[in-house]
Amino acid sequence: MKTALVFIALASVALGGPMAAQEEKPVPKDSERVFIPGCTKGLILTAGPRTEDQGARLDIPEGMHFRMQGPKKMMAEIKAHEGAMVGITGLIKKGQHGPSGIGIAPGVRIMPGGSPTAGGGPRDAGVEQQAVIDVENWRLVVGNCRSR
């Protein structure tokens, strides 16, 4: 009888543990959870082409760069697969994935920046903040990375 109770208790703990570990964290109001396939170099993720099965990709353009943040162990695992196509699931701030400025021609955008005469200085002109993704998970995906 005691053996059966111990077995049931151990089985419920073993089955309940993985379920709790797979629960997703709540998404803050100013952020969005996305899955982005792409290639990495160091801590930079370059978004790859969109595939049809991606529902949580939003309108992130191919070639957009994200600085990855996450636990050191996970970042080391991702870095070990540099050159292979990976899929990153994580949180990004709302609005940071769209291009800024005004498009005037294909590949040409006008963005606000500081003026040397207005006290902004040349180093501030045209500086765009790097988009950041807080990495929650990653996996290898089908595809090839172009060599740089």
Residue-level pLDDT at 146:
77
Q: Which parts of 53-144 are beta strand (E)? A: 65-69, 84-93, 102-105, 108-110, 131-144
CA distances (Å), origin 46, targets 18, 20, 78, 128, 131: 31, 31, 13, 16, 11
The structural domains of the chain, ordered by start, are 26-144 (2.40.50)
Residue-level pLDDT at 19:
42
Residue-level pLDDT at 95:
74
Residue-level pLDDT at 77:
95
Residue-level pLDDT at 45:
94
**Side chain identity at 12, as an amino acid letter?**
S
Residue-level pLDDT at 25:
78
Entry pTM: 0.62
Residue-level pLDDT at 11:
53
Q: List the chain pLDDT tens, one digit each, 148 residues.
A: 555 554 555 555 555 544 444 566 788 888 899 999 999 999 999 998 876 665 545 678 888 899 999 999 999 999 999 989 999 999 998 877 655 555 565 656 566 665 445 555 444 444 456 889 999 999 999 888 876 5
Residue-level pLDDT at 63:
87
